[in-house]
């Protein structure tokens, strides 16, 4: 296992971290519980292979993740750094910070938390929760009392907001999205590293998009047999501004594969990284020819989520992520994050085409999308 400096903490953190958001669960009569036997075996194997950072949160696994992580830490507490998060959006007054912290300490059955994050910070939550309720003062007090070792935040907003939070000067580390398909935070990550704030990356396989096989992406490393998810993880670890990449592992096989990738001295050579960068830039240009995602075509009078359909089509057509694209296409309109209707519901009124600045033949493209993914 490779270990990296973690901001100004003085800690050397494993390049691979364990993300405990998706521990194996069992459904019983409409309720869910973590399959503890499987989960503990997987987490323990990660620790045995050198993973020394585990990340959970208040609401993960229907509120049960912290309990299982606490059990997994028995016998490992002095060797593994524990990260969890306060549900920022549930804070209603200043006292809630301590209330949540004490509850999480009980669930985890620990005396302290190494990295206590403000969960899912964005501009609105920063202003209307953290600043409004003086939560930084509460965090500093908890740190002085030894209940938490470091103040951190996880992030979902624009890169410029990430830089603003780094500049506050109180945070030891941050957790943000970064992967082969989503590099919008790349510059901000470099900025954080320059400011000596540790960077942990979530979503190295792009929320499952890069977990499926893609011949297009696998061809990026000529002459080497590397799976799509392994290449995705190597890409993140090749960024020297990243201290740790979290992976939501739920099988021992996945742990061992990821640990092997995180044990490489050089995840990618300079030549390989340059080839990947050029290829992905070209792929993005191709994707933009089909749709830039500007949303000017919306709303559709019949409820078709045009940008979403085209984004999935690009995963298939440009990146070769056909299996993932088809799975997500089937879910459109059935889950919160995939709102709207599918391409097949287009009534060909043509209103969208009058608003598209790219002059895309939207009706034709929707027909092709329905045929390819439906």
Look at residue 181 in the predicted model and tell me its pLDDT: 86
Burial (0-12, 13-18, 19+ Cβ within 10 Å), 364: exposed
> Over the stretch 38-62, which tens digit does the pLDDT of each residue have?
999 999 999 999 999 999 999 999 9
Q: Partners of 247 in the beta sheet?
A: 18
Q: CA angle, corner 204, sides to 229 and 157, nearest 5?
A: 150
**Arithmetic mean of pLDDT, 17-41:** 93
pLDDT of amino acid 223: 61
Q: How far apart are the first and last CA of the chain?
A: 42
Q: What is the pLDDT of residue 139?
A: 98
pLDDT at residue 328, rounded to an integer? 95
Say if pTM beats, i.e. exceeds, 0.75.
Answer: yes
pLDDT of residue 152: 99
- What is the percent of the chain with per-residue pLDDT over 90, rounded to a whole number? 78
Answer yes or no: is pLDDT of 326 > 90: yes
Q: Which of 293, 297, 298 is nearest to 312 (CA)?
A: 293
Domains within the chain, CATH numbers bracketed: 3-271 (3.20.20.100), 291-373 (no CATH)
DSSP strands (E only) in 39-91 = 53-55, 81-86
**What is the full DSSP assignment across 135-154?**
HHHHHHHHHHTTSEEEEEEE
Region 68-77 average pLDDT:
98
Whether residue 209 is predicted with pLDDT greater than 80 in this model: the reply is no
Among 144-158, 275-289, 358-372, whose mean pLDDT is lowest? 275-289
> Is the pLDDT score of 302 beyond 90?
yes
- How much is the pLDDT for 224? 67
pLDDT in tens, 214-226: 777 777 776 666 7
Place of tokens 């033949």: 361
Lowest mean pLDDT among 22-36, 68-82, 134-148: 22-36
* Interval 3-29 mean pLDDT: 95
């Amino acid at each position: 296992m490779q270990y990296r400096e973690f901001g100004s903490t003085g800690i050397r953190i494993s390049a691979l971290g364990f993300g405990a958001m998706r521990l194996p669960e069992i459904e019983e009569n409409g309720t869910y519980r973590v399959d503890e036997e499987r989960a503990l075996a997987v987490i323990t194997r990660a620790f045995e292979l050198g993973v020394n950072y585990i990340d959970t949160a208040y609401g993960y696994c229907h509120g049960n993740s912290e309990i299982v992580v606490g059990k997994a830490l028995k016998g490992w507490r002095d060797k593994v750094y524990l990260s969890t998060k306060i549900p920022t959006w549930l804070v209603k007054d200043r006292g809630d910070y301590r209330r949540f912290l004490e509850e999480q300490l009980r669930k985890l059955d620990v005396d302290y938390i190494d990295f206590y994050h403000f969960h899912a910070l964005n501009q609105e939550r920063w202003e209307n929760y953290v600043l409004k309720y003086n939560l930084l003062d509460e965090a500093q007090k908890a740190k002085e009392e030894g209940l938490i070792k470091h103040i951190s935040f996880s992030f979902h907003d624009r890169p410029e907001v990430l830089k603003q939070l780094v500049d506050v000067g109180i945070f030891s580390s941050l957790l943000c999205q970064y992967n082969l398909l989503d590099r919008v935070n790349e510059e901000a990550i470099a900025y954080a590293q320059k400011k000596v704030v540790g960077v942990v990356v979530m979503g190295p396989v792009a929320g499952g998009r890069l977990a499926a096989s893609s011949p297009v992406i696998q061809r990026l490393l000529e002459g080497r047999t590397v799976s799509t998810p392994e290449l995705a993880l190597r890409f993140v670890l090749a960024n020297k501004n990243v201290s740790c990449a979290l992976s939501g592992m739920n099988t021992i096989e996945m742990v061992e594969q990821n640990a092997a990738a995180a044990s490489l001295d050089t995840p990618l050579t300079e030549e390989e990284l340059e080839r990947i960068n050029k290829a992905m830039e070209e792929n993005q240009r191709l994707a933009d020819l089909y749709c830039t995602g500007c949303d000017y075509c919306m709303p559709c009078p019949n409820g078709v989520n045009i940008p979403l359909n085209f984004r999935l089509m690009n995963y298939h057509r440009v990146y070769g992520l056909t299996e993932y694209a088809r799975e997500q296409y089937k879910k459109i309109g059935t889950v919160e994050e995939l709102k709207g209707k599918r391409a097949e519901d287009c009534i060909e009124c043509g209103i969208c085409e009058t608003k598209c600045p790219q002059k895309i033949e939207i009706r034709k493209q929707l027909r092709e999308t329905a045929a390819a993914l439906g």
